Amino acid sequence: MPSGGVIVSYFEWLQGLQQKSWPEAEVLRKLLNILDDAFDTISARAQRENVSMRTAALSIRVEKVGLSNGSAGFFPDPQPLAWVGEKISEYRLREVEIVTHGVFELFKIGVGPSSSHTMGPMSAAADFVEWLAGELLAATARVRVWLYGSLALTGKGHATDRAILVGLAGYRPDLINPDAAEAIIGRARREKRLMLDGSHMIDFDEARDTSYLQRERLPFHSNCMRCAAFTVDGRELMSRVYYSIGGGAIVDEEAVAVSVTPARLIDLPYPFASAAELLTMADVAGVSIAALMFANELVRD
């Protein structure tokens, strides 16, 4: 099911195409109809397959994305359907995972327009230059970035290109001043140079050093990017793959390889996998839900 932002963007695009503006009441009516239809579809899937509304919504979304990607030629038949089945099974398995997301993962300080396509890539680029700190950074003469799948398809519209410049300069979404970001982007594009991690100047030409691989998709997630650093003679110093998995969160290829995200490494005093378990645990412990969640927050860095 499309997100609210995607729905609104669709209406904006359609109005621009038709060169007219619809009355606010009509737009709201159309939006409500879309949301009602979406709810009915999800509810029917949840009842038919005996899964939660969340899993039903995710499976429908993955199914639609997989089929549309297949029809667009991103991978040959019958791979789309096989891939869809694998992803739906994966989402169903997530039903029993312990809830490890904290309040600051749900409510983030950051920049837009997109958490997955702006905040995620900025954090990934910043993480990459942190890995280069020291001798590797000093030896770096060039950095290249490859965007795959969804990031490549909608990246420029969601300011992924701008986010990468700011991230490579060493800034993260929750710490960057928007005015400073504009200055970094403007200087990099004007001079075709970038102060890597805020301390090491390199040549950086977006047209040469950023690649949009729209028809390539890495297995784990459609929002994928790879960063690599090279010496002056073209020798690769480091290469890292990142996935922007939603809400501004990122995981790297190492975490994916062992099926562990940073959140799962946390040892919670009150682990639960459902609202029913949360209520039971709070009742048994004699604490409120707020007190239980606060205790879980305290074990985080």
* CATH code of the domain containing 20: 3.40.50.720
- Mark whether 169 and 229 lie in a shared domain: yes
- Mark whether 238 and 255 lie in a shared domain: yes
pLDDT at 280: 87
- Mark whether 168 and 237 lie in a shared domain: yes
- Mark whether 200 and 271 lie in a shared domain: no
**Into how many domains does the chain fold?**
3
- Mark whether 284 and 137 lie in a shared domain: no
pTM above 0.85, yes or no: no
- Mark whether 232 and 204 lie in a shared domain: yes
Q: What is the arithmetic mean of pLDDT over 66-79?
A: 53
Look at residue 2 and tell me whether its pLDDT is greater than 50: no
pLDDT at 141: 95
204 lies in some domain:
yes
The span from the CA of 202 to the CA of 192, in Å, is 9
- Mark whether 213 and 194 lie in a shared domain: yes
167 lies in some domain:
yes
Contacts for 234-241: CB closer than 8 Å, 24+ residues apart: 234/142, 237/132, 237/136, 237/139, 237/140, 238/128, 238/131, 238/132, 238/136, 240/127, 240/128, 240/131
User: Where among 96, 120, 153 does a domain terminate?
Assistant: 96
pLDDT at 143: 96
CA dihedral 91, 120, 243, 92 (to 10 degrees): 0
Q: How confident is the model at residue 91 (pLDDT cuts 50, 70, 90)?
A: very low
Q: How confident is the model at residue 205 (pLDDT cuts 50, 70, 90)?
A: very high
Q: How confident is the model at residue 16 (pLDDT cuts 50, 70, 90)?
A: low
Residue with tokens 């509810």: 43
**Which CATH number does the domain housing residue 156 bear?**
3.30.1330.90
Look at residue 66 and tell me whether its pLDDT is greater than 70: no
pLDDT at 138: 93
Q: Of residues 48 and 188, which shows the higher confidence score?
A: 188
- Mark whether 245 and 274 lie in a shared domain: no
Look at residue 144 and tell me whether its pLDDT is greater than 50: yes
The span from the CA of 279 to the CA of 292, in Å, is 10
Nearest-10 crossing angle of helices 275-285, 289-298:
100
pLDDT at 161: 93
Q: Which SS3 state, helix, strand or coil, does residue 7 take?
A: helix
- Mark whether 9 and 56 lie in a shared domain: yes
- For the stretch 152-186, pLDDT in tens is 888 788 889 999 999 999 999 888 888 888 999 99
Q: How confident is the model at residue 4 (pLDDT cuts 50, 70, 90)?
A: very low
User: Where among 96, 129, 144 does a domain terminate?
Assistant: 96
Three-state SS across 97-129?
Answer: CCCCCCHHHHCCCCCCCCHHHHHHHHHHHHHHH
Q: Of residues 224 and 217, which shows the higher confidence score?
A: 224
241 lies in some domain:
yes
13 lies in some domain:
yes
Look at residue 127 and tell me whether its pLDDT is greater than 90: yes
Domain containing residue 278: 266-298
101 lies in some domain:
no
User: Where among 96, 131, 155 does a domain terminate?
Assistant: 96
Query: What does pLDDT average to over the chain?
Result: 79
23 lies in some domain:
yes
- Mark whether 256 and 272 lie in a shared domain: no
Look at residue 193 and tell me whether its pLDDT is greater than 90: yes
Neighbours of 153 (CB within 10 A): 20
69 lies in some domain:
yes
pLDDT at 40: 86
- Mark whether 129 and 250 lie in a shared domain: yes
pLDDT at 253: 78
Percent of the chain with pLDDT over 90: 29
- Mark whether 137 and 244 lie in a shared domain: yes
252 lies in some domain:
yes
pLDDT at 99: 67
Q: How confident is the model at residue 73 (pLDDT cuts 50, 70, 90)?
A: low
